[in-house]
Each structure stands twice: as C-alpha cells, then as structure tokens.
C-alpha cells in the first residue's frame, strides 16, 4: 500500500499497513540544541582555556607587532573601555536598543503566531499567502528604516526601527509556526475527537502542543533577526536617542576602536543571551521531541 498518496492516507488510515510510527514531521530539533547542554568538566575547561588562549594570544601578537589601536584594539583595551565608563557610554544605548527590540519583537511575533494559526486552517489561504510571506522573509528590513523615517512614520523617535524589527521577526515566527501547525497527526486529533473534543479543544490539547517545538524555533530565529535589524537599523538611521548600532558608527567615525570593540562585545552578549534563553525554553517545553 506504499503507493497510496499521502493525502489519501490522511483520509483513510487503514490503508497504511505497516505499524504507525511516531512521525512528528520533518523537524530536526538538534539544529537548535546542537551545542549540547550537559557538558563534562573537561569540555567546559577546554572551552574556557580556548577563550583565555585567544584573549591573551591576540594581546601578545598585537603587543609584539606593535599594532596601533586604530588598526586593531587590544583585548585588554576593549575590556578597559567596556568597564571604564559603562554607565555613560553604553548603558543608555543598550536600553534604547533593548526597547526597540522588545517592543518590535513582541508585536511582530504575536502577529506572526496568530497569522500562522489562522492561515494553516485553510490550505487555499496558505497557498495564496505563501509567496508574500517569502517576500517578507527575504527582504532585509534594515533597508526600510530610512524610508520609514522620512516617509510613513515621520520623526526621530524609535518607531521606524520598532516597525522594522516587527517586520523582520514576525515572518520568521509565522513561517516556522505555520510548519508546526501543519503537522497534523490525524490519529491524535481523532483520539481527542473520540472523547468529544471541540475544535478549540483539539487546537489547545493537540495541535498547539504538537506545533510548540516549531513555534519555539520560530521565536528564536525571529529574536535573532529582530536583534540584527534593531542594530542595523540604528546604524543606517538611528533615533535621536541613539542605540548600540549608532554607537558603532559613532566610535568608528572617531576611530575609538576600543570603544567600538566594547559595543561589539555587548551585542555579542545579547545574541548569546537569546540563544541561552531559548535553549532553556526548548529544554523545558519541547524536549519530548528529541
């Protein structure tokens, strides 16, 4: 019966003659957690040793070659620049970037999630909407910020960047969540229905939990794209409040490379934080998948 097309097998479960397997769709959860959580002391030690080696190795090379700071800042210089005047030079801009990121991300991801749940109910709607989602996914929303600032949302506030963040993160959540909602496990839906479940109960008890791992993946990718867009948006057209992206431009224009390096460190820390947060969310809510 293996030649029976997939659509038909969905309709007539009896025609599948092999034992039904736990097929939860083409998701490779390991992509998100490929850097495994449980590490041995040796692994952790090695990771720290590499970090220390790179830090001091770079320091030594730059000192021995007498490279000027404006060509390449020394790691110790960057750390000093970071800790020296954190409150004045970075804290405010970090706060601006975080606001733009979180507001835009909250709006974009919420709309993306709701749209995903709605459009996957009707294959026709999904097929019609798909090309437009692809356009949103592949368009770098950073490029929209200057346009938004002079055209649609005139002004010098954070809104053009917030909108760009929403437009960057929303489609990522949408496209992944839609993949999740499309994973209809007919046997499990039938199980719920045999207990008299309503459409809403089927959604809450079966479809949503089944989609949750993909929704989390979407939220993580959306967060990373949102952060990139916030920083990039500030680089091309910041609000009068500034932001980490504008500080990059500012410090490089002044050839203050140690400060520039310090801003980069903060941005990297934000990215790593996103990864760590989603690592634990995935572990808590989606570990049944692996």
Partner 1 sequence: MSPVEGTAKLEIRGATKTYEAKTGPVHALQDFSLEVAAGELVCVLGPSGCGKTTLLWAMAGLHALTRGEISLDGSPITGPRPVEIGMMFQDANLLPWRNLRKNIELPFEIKKRPVDKGRIEVLLKEVGLDGFESSYPRELSGGMQQRASIVRALAPDPGVMLLDEPFGALDAFTRDEMNLLLMRLWSETSKTIVFVTHNISEAIFLADRVVVMTPRPGRLARIFDIELPRPRTVDMTFEPEFIELIQEIKRTVESGARHTVEVE
User: Which residues here bind partner 1, judged by CB under 8 A?
Assistant: 1, 5, 7-8, 11-15, 17, 19-22, 24, 187-188, 190-197, 201, 205-206, 209-210, 212, 288-289
Residue number, 179 or 247, with CB nearest to partner 1: 179
Closer residue to partner 1, CB minimum distance, 24 or 92? 24
For the beta carbon of residue 67, count every other beta carbon within 10 angstroms: 13
Burial group, residue 24, by CB count within 10 angstroms (0-12, 13-18, 19+): middle
Q: Which of 204, 136, 124 is nearest to 175 (CA)?
A: 136
- Give min distance, CB of 191 to partner 1, in A: 5
User: What is the nearest approach in angstroms of partner 1 to the Cβ of residue 287?
Assistant: 9
CA distances from 110 to 11, 116, 272, 273 (A): 32, 10, 23, 21
Instruction: Write down the least CB distance from residue 68 to partner 1, Å.
Output: 57
Identify which of residues 14 and 34 has a Cβ nearer to partner 1 in the complex.
14
Euclidean distance between CA atoms 245 and 241, whole angstroms: 11
Please report how close the Cβ of residue 171 comes to partner 1 at its closest, in angstroms.
26
Comparing CB distances to partner 1, the nearer of 56 and 288 is 288
Using the minimum distance from each CB to partner 1, give the nearer residue, 12 or 60. Answer: 12
Least distance in angstroms from the C-beta of 185 to partner 1: 9
Number of helical H runs and strand E runs in the chain: 13, 0
Q: Which residues contact 212 (CB under 8 A, 6 or more apart)?
A: 180, 285, 286
């Amino acid at each position: 019966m293996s030649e029976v097309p997939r659509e038909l097998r969905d309709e007539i479960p009896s025609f599948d003659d092999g034992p039904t397997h736990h097929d939860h769709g083409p998701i490779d959860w390991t992509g998100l957690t490929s850097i495994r959580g449980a590490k041995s002391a040796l692994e952790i030690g090695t990771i720290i040793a590499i970090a220390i080696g790179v830090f001091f190795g770079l320091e030594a090379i730059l000192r021995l070659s007498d490279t000027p700071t404006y060509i390449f800042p020394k790691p110790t210089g960057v750390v000093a620049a970071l800790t020296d005047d954190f409150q004045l030079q970075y804290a405010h801009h970090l706060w601006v970037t975080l606001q733009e990121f979180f507001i835009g991300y909250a709006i974009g991801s919420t709309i993306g999630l709701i749209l995903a749940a709605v459009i996957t109910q009707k294959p026709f709607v999904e097929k019609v909407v798909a090309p437009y989602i692809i356009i949103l996914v592949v368009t770098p929303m950073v490029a929209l910020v200057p346009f938004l600032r002079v055209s649609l949302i005139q002004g010098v506030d954070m809104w053009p960047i917030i909108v760009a963040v929403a437009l960057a993160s929303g489609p990522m959540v949408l496209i992944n969540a839609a993949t999740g909602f499309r994973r209809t496990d007919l046997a499990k839906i039938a199980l719920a229905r045999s207990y008299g479940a309503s459409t809403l109960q089927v959604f809450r008890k079966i479809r949503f939990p089944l989609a949750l791992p993909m929704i989390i993946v979407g939220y993580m990718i959306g967060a990373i794209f949102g952060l990139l867009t916030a920083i990039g948006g500030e680089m091309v057209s910041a609000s009068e409040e500034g932001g980490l992206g504008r500080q990059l431009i500012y410090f490089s224009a002044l050839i203050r490379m140690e400060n520039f390096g310090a801003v980069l460190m903060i941005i990297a820390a934000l990215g790593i934080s996103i990864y760590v947060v989603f690592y634990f969310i995935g572990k808590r809510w989606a570990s049944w998948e692996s």
